Amino acid sequence: NGVISGARTNEFLHEKSRIVSHNQDERNFHIFYELLAGLNDLEKEKYGLQVAEKYFYLNQGNCIEIDGKDDAEDFRFLIGAMQVLGFTNEEQDIIFRILASILHLGNVYFHRKQFRHGQEGVEIGSDAEIQWVSHLLHIPIEDIFRILTVKATETRTEIIHTALNIDQALDIRDAISKLLYMSLFTWLVHRINHIVCKNNHSISSRRPKIAVLDMFGFENLKENSFEQLCINYANELMFNHYIKCIFKLENAEYMKEKIEWKNVDYPDNQPIINLISKKPIGILPLLEDESNFPKASDNSFLEKCHYNHALNEIYSRARMNCTLEFGIKHFEEQVWYNVEGFLEKNRNILKMEIVDVLQSTKMPIMNKIFYYARELTDNGRQSQRIDGRFVTMKPRAPTVSARFQESLAHLFETVSQTNPWFIRCIRPNNDREPMKFDDKIVFTQIRQSALLETINVRKDGYPVRMKYAQFVSRYHSFINTSQLPRGTPSKEITRLIIEKYLSNDHGYRLGFSKIFLKESTETILEKERYRIMIKAVSKIQAFVRGYQARRRYNSMKRCAVRIQRAYRGYLQRRNYQTLKRGIVRLQATFRARQQRKEYEQFRTLKQKHEMERIIIENKAKHDLSLSNVGK
């Protein structure tokens, strides 16, 4: 039904170097600045934090704040997002502890120390920072001192402890910081995936999916190193996939469908990819080989690159003989790479002892996070047959380039199975300034990214293509299909539709199994389809409105009959009550009249009797008086 049932995030190609160093006018990852800007004074005191300017990992680029970005507000937004996703207060506290520990580690510095037997070592000159790291991570402080100053080499019979020099100690410090950050990042990705995709079946291969791949852009800095080579190699692979989808597959599709088509010339960066990664003499395979030799150096690696690729026109030797660099003509532009530190960055210098120290924490959630640190460094143990018996061997830790190429191979294996849509970002200028448009830089990007060739393909080719059955299903309303013979092929129906509505054949081609359309032709068909749909919709609406009107009339008619019946009943009941009241009043009047009549008769009779009594009384008195007189 179109509702998103789940989401899953996959991680690849981390810019780990930014954790410990970044260029001028750049920042470390935003979370560190947001953390320091968003925590209140009590929370900062809890984690031993100060302002961002105080931390070496944050102040190298002299860019603490960014115009238009409110770190404190973004931190509040981050806290709200964590609460929405169900992160507990304890989990949030663990996250802040690890981030604070990274900042404290960055401020750890070392002094040279001369031992009695003449060996040079280091001692830590910032005990307070180590104490904070121990407190925040719940790790014994003596273990932290040990892994930062002493290297333990394990042999078959014993463990040899060797003092580190300052450069090695700084590398270990930075490596631990990177491992802390990457372990936290990996745990967060798994934690979020568990929340937003609890049911793994919700993102199964059988269900439709939408994926968004966000990659680094092409980089050409003032000083390019191993990280830039990896980033630009990934961009070369993506550009190669773009070429394959837009040009190679386009030409193959026309040939397969027997469509007349003039092949478009397009840039092919496969030689660049071969230079970087093709075994056995590609730059990354050479780096992999050199990383396996303890005595190899950046200089020996560069010499091998020169030896194997000096005649390759894409490859360039150093601009100055004294510099450790080589150049590659990428699809965008020439990039010079300084190989200083290549081998060290490619090797996995972390020992399992360091992971063991991290996993000795007393905090359960933090222990789970550091489990991913073991995954990032451990490759399992292997068995090897020596002198007729199997011996468990300590595995060689996978290098950064090996892991990187493996993740890219998996990524593009997945991408190749999708129907991609490409969004290409164009830099308006190289100064990262707003409202500044450098037309030369923009034109160079457009030209070198094959956008002009892409436009020509879209213009001269037939970018819209559909199976005949799909075309008929979409545009069957253009003709009366009921008059066609039963079983008419979809291709024939397609031809009838096209001939009826298109005046020429410049906008389409009929292939073996598909119809190919120009975008302008599709627009014509879609407009006609829209007109037919509107006409059909109008008829449907008229029918529905008529049906609704009739239904409403019949309903009103039934209601009117009910109302009339009820009203007539009401009138009858009212007339009956009126008549009843009239009869009652009439009866009362009649009875009153009868009573008055009887009363009058009684009164008249009474008066008559009274008169008779008076007459009799008077007569008696008269007779009595006459009698008295006679005597």
C-alpha to C-alpha distances, 28 to 182, 421, 448, nearest whole angstrom: 14, 31, 30
The pLDDT value recorded for residue 304 is 94
- For residue 126, tell me if it sits in a domain: yes
Element containing residue 30 per DSSP (H, E): helix 30-38
Same domain, 121 and 235: no
CA-only gyration radius of the chain, Å? 48
Same domain, 185 and 204: yes
- Give 132-151 as a DSSP string: HHHHHHT--HHHHHHHHHEE
- For residue 538, tell me if it sits in a domain: no
Which residue in 184, 130, 95, 144 sits closest to 370, CA to CA? 184
The pLDDT value recorded for residue 26 is 86
The pLDDT value recorded for residue 118 is 66
Same domain, 355 and 258: no
Could you tell me the CATH number of the domain that includes residue 332?
1.20.58.530
Could you tell me the CATH number of the domain that includes residue 497?
3.30.70.1590
Q: Where among 449, 483, 517 does a domain terminate?
A: 517
Q: Please name every residue paired with 185 in a beta bridge, in sequence order, or none if there are none.
A: none
Residue 175: CB atoms within 10 A of its CB come to 19
- For residue 155, tell me if it sits in a domain: yes
Which residue in 464, 460, 457, 481 sits closest to 515, CA to CA? 464
The pLDDT value recorded for residue 459 is 79
- For residue 322, tell me if it sits in a domain: yes
Same domain, 192 and 132: yes
Spans of the chain below 70 pLDDT: 1, 13, 116, 118, 154-155, 198-206, 264, 320-322, 348-351, 375-397, 504-505, 630-631
CA angle, 354 then 360 then 364, to 5°: 130
Could you tell me the CATH number of the domain that includes residue 106?
1.20.120.720
> Which backbone phi and psi does 261 adopt, to 5 degrees?
-160, 135
Token pair listed for 544:
């529905």
Same domain, 290 and 361: no
- For residue 333, tell me if it sits in a domain: yes
- For residue 23, tell me if it sits in a domain: yes
> Which backbone phi and psi does 289 adopt, to 5 degrees?
-65, -45
- For residue 578, tell me if it sits in a domain: no
284 neighbors 401 (Cβ within 8 angstroms): yes
Query: How far apart, in whole angstroms, are the C-alpha atoms of residue 383 and residue 398?
Result: 17
Query: How far apart, in whole angstroms, are the C-alpha atoms of residue 465 and residue 518?
Result: 9
Token pair listed for 385:
């047959």
Same domain, 120 and 142: yes
Which residue in 261, 224, 236 sits closest to 450, CA to CA? 236
Query: How far apart, in whole angstroms, are the C-alpha atoms of residue 325 and residue 318?
Result: 5
Write out the residue range of the structural domain in which residue 201 sits.
17-210+350-379
pTM over the 0.85 mark: no
Residue reference for tokens 């009590």:
42
Same domain, 339 and 360: no
Same domain, 203 and 298: no
Q: Are strands 508-510 and 514-517 parallel, antiparallel or unpaired?
A: antiparallel
55 neighbors 35 (Cβ within 8 angstroms): no
The pLDDT value recorded for residue 350 is 64
Neighbour-count burial of 300, counting CB atoms closer than 10 A to its CB (0-12 exposed, 13-18 middle, 19+ buried): middle
The pLDDT value recorded for residue 385 is 39
Query: How far apart, in whole angstroms, are the C-alpha atoms of residue 45 and residue 66?
Result: 25
Same domain, 32 and 174: yes
Residues 6+ apart with CB under 8 A from 587: none
- For residue 34, tell me if it sits in a domain: yes
Same domain, 173 and 318: no
Q: SS3 of 626, please?
A: helix
The pLDDT value recorded for residue 1 is 65
Counting runs of H as helices and runs of E as strands, what totals does the chain give?
23, 12
Number of structural domains in the chain? 3
Distance of alpha carbon 402 from the chain centroid: 28
- Long-range contact pairs involving 117-123 (C-beta distance under 8 Å, separation at least 24): 119/163, 120/163, 120/165, 121/149, 121/163, 121/164, 121/165, 122/149, 122/163, 122/164, 122/165, 122/166, 122/169, 123/149
Taking the CA atoms of residue 207, residue 212, residue 213 and residue 216 in that order, the dihedral angle to the nearest 10 degrees is -170
> Which backbone phi and psi does 153 adopt, to 5 degrees?
-110, 120
Residue 350: CB atoms within 10 A of its CB come to 20
Same domain, 176 and 45: yes
Same domain, 369 and 296: no
